[in-house]
Amino acid sequence: MRLAKFLAHAGVASRRGAEEIIRAGRVSIAGTTVIDPARDVDVDSGVAVDGRFLEGPEERMVFLLNKPSGVLSTAADAYGRRTVVDLVPARGARLYPVGRLDADSTGLILVTNDGDLAQRLTHPSFEVPRTYRAVVHPVPVGERALRSLREGVELEDGRTAPAKARQLKPGVLELTIHEGRNHQVKRMCEAVGHRVRTLQRIRFGPLRLDDLAEGAHRQLRAAEVETLRRSPSG
């Protein structure tokens, strides 16, 4: 098995994150630092990260979390601020978020130790749909602005792909996008003249937030994980 894949299966990071850790010189094999993510290894190779030996793949787990505002979408924070991983006790497993939500955004985020699944769900080629509920101002949002969101709007990093957009009630939008640009929903709304007051992700691929309480989490059932693997676009 390739070294980066071994680290991902051991729950260290996503495949992409594992490659960065390896290239940073933090991984050794039998006491020798290795910077080649494609190096072949197995459970008997003596793989260690930051001096800590890995015993092999962990039990793979995927959790759905309703992220509160102010919680960071990272595995750890140097300043001791709360992260999504802090909200998901997992019997010592090394968890990390799948993608991210802004600190002031709320809603559905996945937390896992399954590096292969995390990479699949965040890779742009899979175009996993993400649905958000945005409270904006001024209100209401006119049909011209909604049409622009549906057709794609011009941002500083290029034109967005067409989005699904509807106004649930004056000033409350539901938008579904397939891209993962930084602050994308906020920037799209601002581009059509409406500033986002609050933003909540309510769906990721086939998974819905439903009535899960803010700050609560649940472990995905095996069938749900298999659905994510087989058809991440939902």
Encoding tokens for residue 55?
A: 């015993």
Rounded to whole angstroms, the Cα distance separating 40 from 140 reads 58
Active-site entry in 36, 86, 102, 116: 102
Distance CA 27, CA 34 (A): 6
Residues 103, 183: Cα–Cα separation, whole Å: 11
Taking the C-alpha atoms of residue 57 and residue 7, their distance in angstroms, rounded to an integer, is 8
Measured in whole angstroms, the distance separating CA 5 from the mean position of its chain's CA atoms is: 19
Q: Do strands 47-49 and 27-29 pair parallel, antiparallel, or not at all (unpaired)?
A: antiparallel
d(CA 46, CA 51): 10
Per-residue tokens: 132: 């958000």
Beta bridge partners of 177: 130
42 is catalytic: no
Catalytic amino acids? 102
